[in-house]
Amino acid sequence: MLTERRIVWPLLLCVSCLFITSASAQTEAPTYRMPPQAIADLVDAPLTPAVRVDPTKTWMLVLNRQSLPSIAELSRPELRIAGLRINPANNDRSRASLYTNLTLKHLANGTEKRIVRLPGSGDIGNVYWSPDGAHVGFTLSHPDHMELWVAEVVSGYARKVMDNALNGAYGRPYHWLPGSRAIIARTIPSDRRTAPEAPTVPTGPVIQENSGKPAPVRTYQDLLQDPHDEALFEHFLTSQVVQVGLDGSTKMIGGPGLMRHAEPSPDGKYILAETIHRPYSYTVPIYRFPVKVDIWDTNGMVVKNVTDMPLADNLPIGFGAVATGPRSFGWRSDTPATMYWIEAQDGGDPKVKADIRDIVYMQ
């Protein structure tokens, strides 16, 4: 009997220790662990840099990229509306391609110079050469806003050119003017208020109409779902077009709107402006919403109403399907102010046999 007690007590003590250890382990918060160094080095290896050659073919800009986003970057807020994924904190795309630093390399002799005088924080994006190759424009995305910066090739010095925060939620946020001394940018309106909050009680039902005709539509992600989504869409997509000079001067062009595109003509006298408007759709993403296309002068006055593209929510299913009527507007680069666009000749259906699919028009 004494021997049995001597055996049982150590067993009970061991079992108690196991329970205590298990309870202690459950109360400790789990943390991320590092893999062996060889695996960490493989994962953290830098990606192949992107490159941009200047218009004069003199300099090559090397854009270095980080291997993978950090946990902090993946934890940033993300708003998913109208097929977009937006960081509501800084009004930039949440899945944008960003860079860590910029280096200039001379194509003839191979000498290098790094773009300097950048702040210690901020992700680099939207990198574009000026037409004369003397400057490089880019954006810096911070946690709560996005800035417009310009670097001078000769000195390698970079500087912020205006205090207005850019709107990078959709499309290209800026374009160089042909003289290379100014930029057309889409900014957040200075009088914008805080984002609308979701109502605690619905104000009414969500109504969708059916015309009674077959309307096959592909499945899309992150679409608008209710009036609150529409309010958020208008809040984060509304931009003010601004002309900013390299000397820091700014000039408002037109009024705020849901700008999809604002591109200056090659002679700098006009702006091709594309503005999104209602009715929005709960079944297709932003690039199928109605768009008004106009030609502005440099003060934002409408010189010509080009077209108003309707909501494209009834296109044929299939890759290559497009809307009928004018689409894909742009400026010819070899003329002062000649606009081009495309019109489908097959009803927009790639399954229809047609000798001519599209015609390019110019004006």
pLDDT for 2 equals: 45
pLDDT for 234 equals: 99
pLDDT for 4 equals: 46
Say yes or no to pLDDT of 206 above 50.
yes
HEC letters along the chain:
CHHHHHHHHHHHHHHHHHHHHHHHHHHCCCCCCCCCHHHHHHHCCCCCCEEEECCCCCEEEEEECCCCCCHHHHCCCCEEECCEEEECCCCEECCCCCECEEEEEECCCCCEEECECCCCCCEEEEEEECCCCCEEEEEEECCCCEEEEEEECCCCEEEECCCCCECECCCCCEEECCCCCEEEEEECCCCCCCCCCCCCCCCCCCCCCCCCCCCCCCCCCCCCCCHHHHHHHHHHHCEEEEEEECCCCEEEEEEEECEEEEEECCCCCEEEEEEECCCCCCCCCHHHCCEEEEEEECCCCEEEEEEEECCCCCCCCCCCCCCCCEEEEEECCCCCCCEEEEEECCCCCCCCCCCCCEEEEEC
pLDDT-wise least confident of 110-119, 234-243, 266-275: 110-119
pLDDT for 26 equals: 54
Burial of residue 155 (CB within 10 Å: 0-12, 13-18, 19+) is: exposed
Q: What integer best gives the mean pLDDT of the chain?
A: 91
Q: Residue 131: what are its φ and ψ, rounded to 5°? A: -55, -30
Q: What percent of the chain has pLDDT over 70?
A: 90
Which residue would you say has higher pLDDT here, 277 or 316?
A: 277
pLDDT band at 97; cut points 50, 70, 90: confident
Say yes or no to pLDDT of 12 above 60.
no
pLDDT for 72 equals: 82
pLDDT for 95 equals: 85
Say yes or no to pLDDT of 263 above 50.
yes
